[in-house]
Chains A and B, each alone.
Chain A
Amino acid sequence: DTAVSQTPKYLVTQMGNDKSIKCEQNLGHDTMYWYKQDSKKFLKIMFSYNNKELIINETVPNRFSPKSPDKAHLNLHINSLELGDSAVYFCASSQDRQSEQFFGPGTRLTVL
């Protein structure tokens, strides 16, 4: 009955590979987010979708592409992975613009 789930939890890959991270929420929320947490624990918003529409697209390399097949899912695809992409990626969701966000457990991406 996990509210926001992410797969995989750990992802180790080589430079230049393409990988995807999946996120699902069973809270019935309309808005979903992707955050990147770097090695210093700093959190930065990457993308946000509301009702499958992209509403936040921060300054992120275009190697990163989010996809929302439906309101309950927001996936993150990363092309041509680089060393600097190593981080923990968090998915989150919220009911509306005033509400708190619920975070997934995170995906630790390590690029070798």
Chain B
Amino acid sequence: AQSVAQPEDQVNVAEGNPLTVKCTYSVSGNPYLFWYVQYPNRGLQFLLKYITGDNLVKGSYGFEAEFNKSQTSFHLKKPSALVSDSALYFCAVRARYNDYKLSFGAGTTVTVRA
């Protein structure tokens, strides 16, 4: 079985401050890990993924995430948040043996105040 936990329902930060959205996963073997963002009344947009290689992954809109195998975490970070980053963020995992099924976390709502 595979699963994702996003321990925070909401994250609130001031514009210009660092933003972190937490994600931990449970999977047998090595994972494929993804972050997606959903703006109101829109579909999900891909931000970044970890497949293999460098543990620090850089993605769209200045976001990055660090894969930590020992802590089974894949936290999303942005050094300086913008008001336009306010959205719903989803972490997702797939086990390498499981070819196609992607399991999503419950989502974290990020609010960046001006």
CB neighbours of B38 from chain A (8 A): 41
CA distance A97 to B95 in the complex (A): 11
CB–CB A100/B34 < 8 A:
yes
Q: A100-B49, A103-B43, A103-B44 are in contact. Are A45 and B107 (CB under 8 A)?
A: no
Indicate if B90 sits at the interface (CB-CB under 8 A): yes
CA distance A103 to B45 in the complex (A): 7
Q: A41-B88, A98-B32 are in contact. Are A90 and B44 (CB under 8 A)?
A: yes
Indicate if A55 sits at the interface (CB-CB under 8 A): yes
| Number of chain A residues whose Cβ lies closer than 8 Å to a Cβ of chain B | 25
Select B43's contact among A56, A94, A104, beta carbons within 8 Å.
A104
Q: Which residues of B contact A (CB under 8 A)?
A: 32, 34, 36, 38, 41-46, 49, 51, 88, 90, 99-104, 106-107
